[in-house]
Amino acid sequence: MSSTSGWAAMRSFSRDGSVREHRLAPGTLRRVAALARPHRRPLAVFTALVVLDGALVAVPPLLLRHLIDDGVRTGDRSTVVVLALLVAAVALAEAGLSLVQRWLSARIGEGLIYELRSAVFEHVQRQSIGFFTRSQTGALVSRLNSDVVGAQQAFTSTAAGVLSNAVTLVAVLTAMLVLSWQITLLALVVVPAFLLPARRVGRRLAALRREAMQRNADLGERMTERFGVAGALLVKTYGDDGEESSQFRSRAAAVRDVGVRTALSSRVFFAGLTALAALATAMVYGVGGWLAISGAVTTGSLVALAALLARLYGPITGLANVQVDVMTALVSFERVFEVLDLVPAVRDPEHPRALPAGPLDVELDDVVFTYPAVSTLASLQAGGAGGPAADALEGTGERPVVRGVSLHAGAGQVVALVGRSGAGKTTLASLVARLHDVDSGSVRVGGVDVRETSQAELRRRVGVVSQDAHLFHDTVRANLLYGRADASEGDLWAALAAARADGVVRGLPEGLDTVVGERGHRLSGGEKQRVALARLLLRAPSVVVLDEATAHLDSESERAVQEALDAALVGRTSIVIAHRLSTVRSADLICVVDDGRVVERGRHEDLVARGGLYAELHRTQFSDGPVAA
């Protein structure tokens, strides 16, 4: 048996056998067929080649039989030469066929990966923000990588392997039976002697592989976390080097131990396979030799049988676990389809209305909102499918976070939201940009319910700057162009100047072309917020939703941010989650949010005079800022 089929057999035997009990979602097969349809011509050619190749395997041994019986034993040199050339020709043909096969399977497979991956990416992108807060990024990325690749393997390796093994098995068995049914039977009798232990070793390997994956993930997670800037900083300031090392060592040791056990088990598997083939060959020569002496079979047949035997066990072991192989491939498809079937929580209406041109007012009318308990697939949630974490999340979402809020921001007005941490300010503001849909009540922008217009239109007209504004790992220029793709160089600098960020960018090593963000040049919190404000200015929305940074800046950056804010808010309807005294002072309306309700509203002086929650917040939250000083 060749070592590639040995590997394939081992992979197959060590697959998780529990998939056999898995019930596929209805329609999975039909959808797989629909995916295959555009590739049906290359698939047909590929199938024909696989069948031909599988059948060709039995040919060289039969040619060898003729070579010996009709050439060597009769002394016919020309027959020997012709048949040897034929054997060579078959070998070359097989090589050529395998090349064309591989080319076709790669084209079909990679094409399928490309299609599935793009489809999953585009679909995931359409999900609401709730989906992303609940999904584990790693699990999501793995859907795009391993499951998509697993699904394409169903087409190329699994289906082709099953077909090729089946054809080879039939061809080889037929040839052997014709040559000597006694020896064929003998060769088959020993098969269970291998398959039964192989299943056990396979189960063991499957468990080891699962364990290895888990251990490696632990190790990887540890490194990613400790080597990330935030984690490294924590270790530098709080960590104990010895303790860190010993924890790492114990995880690395676990990986080592699993590796040793896996190596041993797979060697047992291979040794068993090789021994079986060798023993069977000895048996064929032993019994066949007897039969040849008594004239029951010819010497050529004996040689041919031994050669055929070498091609018999590969397909048998390959097919022994076929059910698990096919199910594993189909489950990958199912997991991909599962993501594609997820209906986004926030959807565009069938006939979206345009928002009126010019300034827009914002009105919330008796809005109630609850975070949905489940906004993603269980298998994408932290903790995995049905894990303890999934259960722990069940309880959330029972209680509304926004409980009957009504407020109106006239066109061009600034409404400040203030309140204790966790009061629901960020949540309330996010409803204006329709990041979530309300349970009841309505959010209207320019008199249009946000559910009646398109999300693209909302994105154009409602600008959002979050508390910890994000910049992509890309150049400053690319980050700004994300606000408006067709902005000119002049526009960029004008926006940066208005946001008081032009000096910052000029000071960067490569100016606008400096890479910033996660692994690029680090901007300070205040600098980042100003670049984000420049991005907002480029988009020039009619409504601004702004979560002011809570971090206290020194008075100079504070002034720069304040000026940037004034530039961003002028002439725009603004909902500002305020953390600065200057913002609340100049706001047209202050809404004090407490436990999901607006408990006080008015202007700064009136609210301070009233001596309620605002007056308290004013003392504790706003009075120690640098502006107040």
Q: Note the residues at the interface with ligand ATP (CB under 6 A).
A: 133, 371, 396, 401, 419, 421-427
Q: How far is the CB of 401 from ligand ATP (least distance, A)?
A: 4
**Residue among 145 and 396 whose Cβ is closer to ligand ATP:** 396
Residue 237 interacts with which of Mg ion, ligand ATP, none, CB < 5 to 8 Å by class: none
**Residue among 10 and 429 whose Cβ is closer to Mg ion:** 429
Which stretch in 84-92, 420-428, 555-563, 614-622 sits in contact with Mg ion by CB under 5 A? Answer: 420-428
What is the torsional sign of CA 365, 371, 373, 379?
positive
Judged by CB under 5 A, how many residues of this single chain contact Mg ion? 1
Residue 423 interacts with which of ligand ATP, Mg ion, none, CB < 5 to 8 Å by class: ligand ATP
Q: How far is the CB of 622 from ligand ATP (least distance, A)?
A: 13
Beta bridge partners of 440: 368
Q: How far is the CB of 426 from Mg ion (least distance, A)?
A: 3
Q: How far is the CB of 580 from ligand ATP (least distance, A)?
A: 13
Give, in order, the Cα–Cα distances in Å from 330 to each of 50, 147, 322, 336, 471. 21, 10, 12, 10, 39
Residue 89: partners with Cβ closer than 8 Å, 6 or more residues away: none
Residue with tokens 């919190």: 525
Token code pair at residue 8:
């394939």
Q: How far is the CB of 464 from Mg ion (least distance, A)?
A: 13
User: Is 601 within 8 Å of 590 (Cβ atoms)?
Assistant: yes
Residue 371 interacts with which of ligand ATP, Mg ion, none, CB < 5 to 8 Å by class: ligand ATP
Q: How far is the CB of 480 from Mg ion (least distance, A)?
A: 25
Q: How far is the CB of 247 from ligand ATP (least distance, A)?
A: 31
Q: What's the gap between Cα 621 and its chain centre?
A: 42
**Residue among 379 and 427 whose Cβ is closer to ligand ATP:** 427
**Residue among 483 and 526 whose Cβ is closer to ligand ATP:** 526
Q: How far is the CB of 424 from ligand ATP (least distance, A)?
A: 4
Region of 425 on the Ramachandran plot (φ > 0 left; ψ -120 to 50 alpha; else beta): alpha
Which stretch in 16-24, 239-247, 421-429, 469-477 sits in contact with Mg ion by CB under 5 A? Answer: 421-429
Q: DSSP E strands: which ranges in 370-520? A: 402-409, 414-419, 440-445, 448-449, 462-465, 474-475, 515-516
**Residue among 274 and 467 whose Cβ is closer to ligand ATP:** 467
Calpha distance 101→576 (Å, rounded): 62
Calpha distance 616→383 (Å, rounded): 41
**Residue among 288 and 424 whose Cβ is closer to ligand ATP:** 424
Q: Which of 299, 426, 442, 466 binds Mg ion (CB under 5 A)?
A: 426
Token code pair at residue 576:
């500002």
Residue 228 interacts with which of Mg ion, ligand ATP, none, CB < 5 to 8 Å by class: none
Give, in order, the Cα–Cα distances in Å from 354 to each of 55, 131, 315, 546, 574. 65, 26, 63, 23, 20
Residue 3 interacts with which of ligand ATP, Mg ion, none, CB < 5 to 8 Å by class: none
User: Is 190 within 8 Å of 326 (Cβ atoms)?
Assistant: no
Residue 421 interacts with which of ligand ATP, Mg ion, none, CB < 5 to 8 Å by class: ligand ATP
**Residue among 423 and 515 whose Cβ is closer to Mg ion:** 423
**Residue among 244 and 439 whose Cβ is closer to ligand ATP:** 439
Q: How far is the CB of 547 from Mg ion (least distance, A)?
A: 6
Amino acid making up residue 590: I
Calpha distance 166→172 (Å, rounded): 10
**Residue among 108 and 432 whose Cβ is closer to ligand ATP:** 432
Task: Tell me the backbone φ, ψ of residue 598, rounded to 5 degrees.
Answer: -90, 110
Helix (H) or strand (E) holding 43: helix 40-56
- Contact flag: residue 466 with Mg ion (CB under 5 A): no
Residues that bind Mg ion (CB under 5 A): 426
